[in-house]
Structure 1
Amino acid sequence: MARRSLAGALVIGTALTACAAQAASFTMYRDPNCGCCLAWADHMEQGDKHEVTSVDHPDMGAVKAENGVPNDLRSCHTAIVEGYVIEGHVPAADIERLLADRPAGVTGLAVAGMPMGSPGMEHGDHRQAYQVIAFGPEGRTVWASYPASHGSAS
């Protein structure tokens, strides 16, 4: 009987974790002069899955340093969600996978720079190739890769 209750608790706990990954609240720190950050927030809020609170910050370098974002992975905005750091234009699906899997040794995900075609940087059909990097105290790994695309010729 105790096993069944424990198993039920594990199923409920797993369901709650899945729900949390689907409906997360983000705090996004950004330079008040940057518009693509708000476009990324819109990407995260599509379908009412997530809520993003935008905080204008005068010293983004300090925010990144405080949250352990490596210099070469920095972008324009830094978000915090459920204890993870999300740097730059990371796609929602990659963040949802992070929140569902919760891998050991990962501090967060980053897309370095501002690649065209990444979430919040959609301008036309052109997309630069880019990678989502998982980073943390144990090092880095490629979390996801997105190829370049050049739309259709007219």
Structure 2
Amino acid sequence: MTKAGYHAQTVLMDDLTDVRRRYKIPADLAACHTATIGGYVIEGHVPAADVTTLLRQRPKALGLSVPGMPLGSPGMEPANGEVEGYFTLLLLGEGRRRIFARH
């Protein structure tokens, strides 16, 4: 995110359950990182380009999620270059979601 021009403030927490509940992140989409920006929540290893697109388009949504920790997602690039396909999901509320980007 820093390379893309974003400046993150890090807050270390032992348990993100209350944070995810506050931002209405479905349990099946929970990942290892939760952030907020521009009124949206960002859950997991979401590419900076997807965040930029979200902020430019401003859809009516809660935010974005990349569930799990897919190989090749930001911060999960293995030394051998192995990657797996994954989706960034747009969180629409009430557990609804749709594909926002394919990687």
Shorter-chain-normalised TM-score: which range? over 0.9
Of structures 1 and 2, the one scoring higher in RCO (CA 8 A, sep 6+) is 2
SS of residue paired to 1:50: coil
Report the alpha carbon displacement of residue 136 of structure 1 after superposing the two structures with TM: 1.9
Alpha-carbon separation, structure 2, partners of 1:116 and 1:62: 27
Question: TM-score scaled by structure 1?
Answer: 0.63
| Structure 2 unmatched runs, 5+ | none
* CA root-mean-square deviation: 1.2
Equivalent residue number for residue 115 of structure 1: 70
Structure of larger gyration radius: 1
How many residues end up aligned between the 2 structures? Answer: 101
Alpha-carbon separation, structure 2, partners of 1:66 and 1:59: 13
In structure 2, what residue type is equivalent to 1:62?
D
Matched, 1:145 2:102: yes
Percent of aligned positions with the same letter in both sequences?
Answer: 43
Question: TM-score scaled by structure 2?
Answer: 0.92
Report the alpha carbon displacement of residue 137 of structure 1 after superposing the two structures with TM: 2.4
Higher helix share: 1
Q: Is the 8 A contact 2:20 2:34 kept in 1?
A: yes
Equivalent residue number for residue 80 of structure 1: 36
Matched, 1:102 2:30: no
In structure 2, what residue type is equivalent to 1:115?
P
Name segments (4+ residues, structure 1) moved above 3 Å. none
Deviations, residues 66-124 of structure 1 (Å, cap 9, x unaligned): 111111111001000011000000000000000000012x1000000011110011112
